[in-house]
Structure 1
Amino acid sequence: MPIKVPDLLPAKSKLQDENIFVMDESRAFSQDIRPLKILILNLMPLKQQTETHLLRLLGNSPLQIEIGLLHTNTHTSKNTSPEHLKQFYKSIDDVKANKYDGLIITGAPIENLAYEDVNYWEELTQIMEWSKKNVTSTLHICWGAMAGLYYHFGVDKYMMDKKLSGIYTHTLNDPREKLLSGFDEEYLAPHSRHADIRREDIESVPELKILSESDEAGVYLVASKDGKQIFITGHPEYDSYTLKKEYDRDEAAGLNPMLPINYFPNDDPTQQPRLRWRTHSNILISNWLNYYVYQETPYQL
């Protein structure tokens, strides 16, 4: 089944070029079916890039999905035009009376800030609190995962001596978990962050369970035992060039970045990286949509 997106959203044409089944609003209106309503709180600076990344994964599901885009009022984006935000995005005030099957909270490159120092932290906590009663299941990504673990369960982050960047091997803690259905016993996933969460802090919270981790990158997948909160410390949505763009940006800025681990062929940044984590990413999002959203949400929201 297709993913339903606004007719003029720029990501639509990119996804169609990749043979992702996209249905615009005008066609979807004629179908007698209730799509899953998924809201995306996009905290990333390059919002259009993140839209494409996430819609690519959501569009691979056999379920029909209707997407809503959310941004914060208390932060002015410097990298996305006001016209794009006005046309495609809403604020929490616009949607707080609605119910949603799922919510995705993206990452943000602000790990160096204390949570309370983030200029939209109060608004973000309001959204996370609202989600408890208005969303069936919430998926948190990278900094969004750290922020969610901190707000909901008091699990803090720790700054690392150097940036964790690259493609890392992960293993499964309990293959019987529904979120891990269809996973290989070892799989690859991207990470790009300056902060970490500690295993022992998560294990001290009875409501949480660690589902997957990496010897090099640490904890990767965490879920609340009721399935309403899913936390991913990496970036399964990244495409093959995202880490390269980050590396090139930092190199041009004179930051002397380290090469992303296990990413460029032969560790040569002039070579094109290969996409080796797409299968895992698609299965992860499909499992979340199926087992934690579709199977749990009421027909009448």
Structure 2
Amino acid sequence: MTLFANALESIQIGVEDLLKNDDRRVLSAVRNVHAGVLLLCKEKLRRLSPDDEILLAQRFEPQPNDKGKVSIEAVGRSTVGVDDIKKRFKVFDVSLDWKRFDAMADIRHHMEHSYYKGSRERARQAVADALLVIRQLLVEALQEDPRSALGSECWTALLENADLFEAELQTCRAMLENIGWETEAAARALPDFACPSCRSALIRQRDPANTSQQKAVLICSACGKETELGAVLSHAFDETFGAEAHIAVKDGGEPPISTCPECSEETYVLEEGRCAACDFALPEDATCAICGSGLSAEEYYEHDGLCSYHAHVASKDD
């Protein structure tokens, strides 16, 4: 069986598993679809390779050959992993929605390590994320027709699953949009809300009619767990503001989000001067006990009333 055929078969089996009315097959569905997507990535590298399929090897090095020239040969038997696939796609300018790919992989990881049985809702999300990645790989990277490659039954099932999950997601999001969020940062992060336990995006309010952030009780429709707002916001902020934080640190500036001195979640919004989760704001007299300069939230949280400089000096004196 060719690598491409193996990839298509893995996806087809995964979709069949998802359609079975058997909770024991749900994790198998996610595993098989995820494996199929990885194999499609490898198929693209295979097609980019010379005849020796060198780009599928995890490591390769220049070696002298019997003709007195240099050839590139695989080292060891290990094949390329996800990190190397990402690097090689970037080098060869192959576009892929890695955010959706990683979201699918994250759900698979949590289903495997946190639960014996995965819920159908979590599987729907993983397969819905996979659909767009599969289409991108087949149409853009491999120039294949998805319906012809996967078969009309499998492709239709993928589309129907994506539609069903999207309807559930929009219902959950509508409940969250009813809330009068007390910070702009929280409202901005809504698309990145996910369950801390299972990573499903199907986070909703227990009371759909509630409009108060302080009274909001969040629950995951996928795993059924009630979850704290702070934990949800902390995870969402990491996604929403991750790029800005990376740039800020790289340029020697302050990241947009820091640890809240009150609730200890990563939800203190520097620009708004308050915590998006517990509404804590630094007191007006939050100054360094030695020099009197104003303290940042991070300094207030970490240095017991001292600015970074004097906290450093004090640590050296100890």
Question: Shared fold by TM > 0.5?
Answer: no
Work out which structure has the larger RCO, using CA pairs closer than 8 Å and 6 or more positions apart in sequence: 1
- Which is strand-richer, 1 or 2? 1
Larger Rg: 2
- TM-score category (smaller protein): under 0.3
